[in-house]
Amino acid sequence: MPISSPPQGDTQFFFQRERATSVLSRRSFLTGSACLLAVSLAGCNTLGMPGLAGQDPLPAADFDYAKAYAALPDGEFTWPAINYKAFDPKFLRQVVDYKTREHAGTIIVDPYHNFLYWTLGGNKALRYGIGVGQAGFAWSGEAKIRVKREHPLWRPPREMIDRKPSLGRYWEKGFPPGLKNPLGARAMDLWQGSTDTLYRIHGTNDPSSIGKSVSSGCIRMWHQDVIDLFKRVPLHTKVIVLTKDG
């Protein structure tokens, strides 16, 4: 399990409430509300939920997956394209029906079905496929994202170093960012109050692990997906990790 390093240049993303630029009539207000509840993918997806305005569009029926999962330049790195057609389509980024009592903007992780949901309200959610390491089953409950890291360092946990002493050289300074880094393009660290849960949502240098249970790591996402989620959620976002019985 990777251990948190001090935030370095963390980019904070804060939701901003959309402000009306004109006085809406009652009719137009009701139309906009209906659009929100349906989470219309034809252009109304920026209404209602604070923070959607100004973000990348939600996946719609005509969503360009080839573009979404193409090679992605990101600072000094370019994350490789994903051969998304080789995967079950259910693991691709998409808006789905999802009933929950949680407020819009909550992340819900279902490690037992390899899905991560970002709730949108109106019984809708943006769903991502995930890979789950052993550590991803070791903790469940409620926490908040306290640290967001771009191009994170990775420090191997002590038990991993015990099994493979050669990894000890990465304990002090960490494994450098890049294509081989186990945390990939982004990492989001979950805390309960002042306690680090050691639970991470992060990228992966093994894209074939999405949709599977794997030996190491917490919650893995394709680089393109973890960057998309990273842009959408601010610090202090509520995260719920489900137990096996949901």
CA distance 200 to 188: 6
Residue 245 confidence (pLDDT): 82
Per-residue confidence at 20, pLDDT binned at 50, 70, 90? very low
- Give the list of residues 6+ apart from residue 8 with CB closer than 8 angstroms, or none: 149, 153
Q: Give a yes or no: residue 227 inside a domain.
A: yes
Active site residues: 202, 218
Residue 25 confidence (pLDDT): 37
pLDDT greater than 70 at residue 35: no
| More confident call, 6 vs 85 | 85
Residue 178 confidence (pLDDT): 85
Which amino acid is present at 37?
L
Residue 31 confidence (pLDDT): 36
- Give the list of residues 6+ apart from residue 182 with CB closer than 8 angstroms, or none: 2, 154, 175, 202, 204, 205, 216, 217
Name the domain count of the chain: 1
Choice among 54-63, 118-127, 149-158 with the minimum mean pLDDT: 149-158
Q: Give a yes or no: residue 133 inside a domain.
A: yes
pLDDT greater than 60 at residue 239: yes
Residue 58 confidence (pLDDT): 95
CA distance 59 to 94: 5
What average pLDDT score do residues 78-95 get? 97
Q: Give a yes or no: residue 43 inside a domain.
A: no
The CATH number of residue 155's host domain is 2.40.440.10
Q: Give a yes or no: residue 97 inside a domain.
A: yes
Q: Give a yes or no: residue 4 inside a domain.
A: no
Summarised one tens digit per residue, pLDDT across range 174-211 is 778 889 998 999 999 999 999 998 899 999 999 999 99
Provide the residue range defining the domain that includes 161: 64-241
Q: What percent of the chain has pLDDT over 90?
A: 57
Summarised one tens digit per residue, pLDDT across range 103-140 is 999 999 999 999 999 999 999 999 999 999 877 777 88
Q: Give a yes or no: residue 216 inside a domain.
A: yes
Mean of per-residue pLDDT scores for the chain: 79
Helix (H, G, I), strand (E, B) or coil at 144: strand
Sign of the dihedral through C-alpha 180, 191, 9, 54: positive
Q: Give a yes or no: residue 34 inside a domain.
A: no
- What does each C-alpha distance from 228 to 34, 58, 202, 231 come to in angstroms? 26, 10, 12, 5
Residue 238 confidence (pLDDT): 98
pLDDT greater than 90 at residue 40: no
| More confident call, 182 vs 232 | 232
Count other Cβ atoms within 10 Å, centred on residue 158: 12
Q: Give a yes or no: residue 46 inside a domain.
A: no
Quote the pTM value: 0.76
